[in-house]
A = this chain, B = another copy of it.
Amino acid sequence: MLSFVGLGLYDERSITLEGRDALRSADRAFAELYTSRLTGTTLAELERFHGVDIERCDRGRIERDPEPILAAAESGDAALLVGGDPMVSTTHVDLRLRAHERGIDTRVVHGTTAATAAASLTGLQNYRFGKATTLPFPRAVAGNREVPASVLDSIERNRERGLHTLVYLDIKTPEGRYEPDDAGEQFLTASRAAGLLASAWTDGLAVAVCRAGSPEPLVAADRCSALAARSFGDPLHLLVVPGRLHHLEAESLRELAGAPATAVEELLD
């Protein structure tokens, strides 16, 4: 049996009770912590907290050589731990298909995700979100101001329908060298992302959602240029670009995220 277990959003207590039980009862546990980051914990803390040994893998290793995981799942119960929900990356879908081909039972133990948290923390309604997108670090060749057309297109096409856009922010990590506590790691911040949007797109309302799933998340709504002038502290960050706003959504952004009334009124339904 191969269980794909979501670790949820932030630390060793973000996992569900079902996930914890699957981890503790597994004969071998692996963790792929590259795709979705848990900034509130480390592999060593996860091992200590749950009282189990966990073998680190990166995506490249799973893709190149899935055999150790498949063999463990063939001869016993194996668990693969992944931040957030376990099936977000194609790597894991691919691994599940390989297991299925070999006749190995699989199951998915879901985890909490940034997409859910972004709606939840902002007070924006989940069914009013359109397609999500990811904003990459600006490429050097484009003078550090570039926002890919595909990102702007996603935002614009959502807004044409009045829909909000969840903008994931890029994480720069050399594949295969991931250490959760590596100080050299770089995260695109909400502040920088808002500055990129202010230049490349428009200076409309955006919402910075920082450290979702942690005990002290920060949610700040303002025009992009104003968000760009602020600093939001530790990662992870993401941005939400609102479409049209219902009354209660507008009130949430004003009261819970400090949005300026004028910027909110422009978007009111």
A120, B255: Cβ atoms closer than 8 Å:
no
A163, B131: Cβ atoms closer than 8 Å:
yes
- From known contacts A14-B16, A161-B157, infer whether A126 and B115 are also in contact, taking CB-CB under 8 Å: yes
A1 CB, min distance to chain B CBs, angstroms: 12
- Top 3 nearest A-B pairs (CB, nearest first) are A87-B120, A13-B17, A110-B112
Chain A residues bordering chain B, tally (CB within 8 A): 59
B90, A125: Cβ atoms closer than 8 Å:
yes
- From known contacts A110-B8, A131-B129, infer whether A123 and B87 are also in contact, taking CB-CB under 8 Å: yes
A117 within 8 A of B: yes
A-B residue pairs in contact (CB < 8 Å), sample of 5: A14-B18, A88-B126, A107-B215, A108-B117, A113-B116
The residues of B that contact A256 with a CB separation of less than 8 Å are 96-97, 100
New A-B contacts (12) at CB < 8 Å, excluding given A110-B117, A115-B115: A6-B112, A13-B16, A85-B116, A85-B126, A86-B120, A87-B120, A93-B252, A96-B252, A108-B217, A110-B120, A127-B133, A128-B131
A13, B8: Cβ atoms closer than 8 Å:
no
- From known contacts A110-B120, A163-B131, infer whether A13 and B18 are also in contact, taking CB-CB under 8 Å: yes
Residues of A within 8 A of B (CB): 6, 8-9, 12-18, 20-21, 85-88, 90, 93-94, 96-97, 100-101, 107-108, 110-113, 115-117, 119-121, 123, 125-134, 157, 161, 163, 168, 212-213, 215, 217, 248, 251-252, 255-256
B121, A132: Cβ atoms closer than 8 Å:
no
A116, B117: Cβ atoms closer than 8 Å:
no
Contact of A116 among B18, B115, B125, B255 (CB under 8 A): B115
The residues of B that contact A133 with a CB separation of less than 8 Å are 127
A9 CB, min distance to chain B CBs, angstroms: 6
B115, A112: Cβ atoms closer than 8 Å:
no
- From known contacts A17-B13, A130-B131, A248-B93, infer whether A108 and B120 are also in contact, taking CB-CB under 8 Å: yes
Q: Which residue of B lies closest to A123 (CB)?
A: B93
The residues of B that contact A8 with a CB separation of less than 8 Å are 16, 110
A228 CB, min distance to chain B CBs, angstroms: 25
A29 CB, min distance to chain B CBs, angstroms: 17
A248, B16: Cβ atoms closer than 8 Å:
no
Interchain CA distance A269-B128 in the complex, whole Å: 26
The residues of B that contact A111 with a CB separation of less than 8 Å are 112, 116
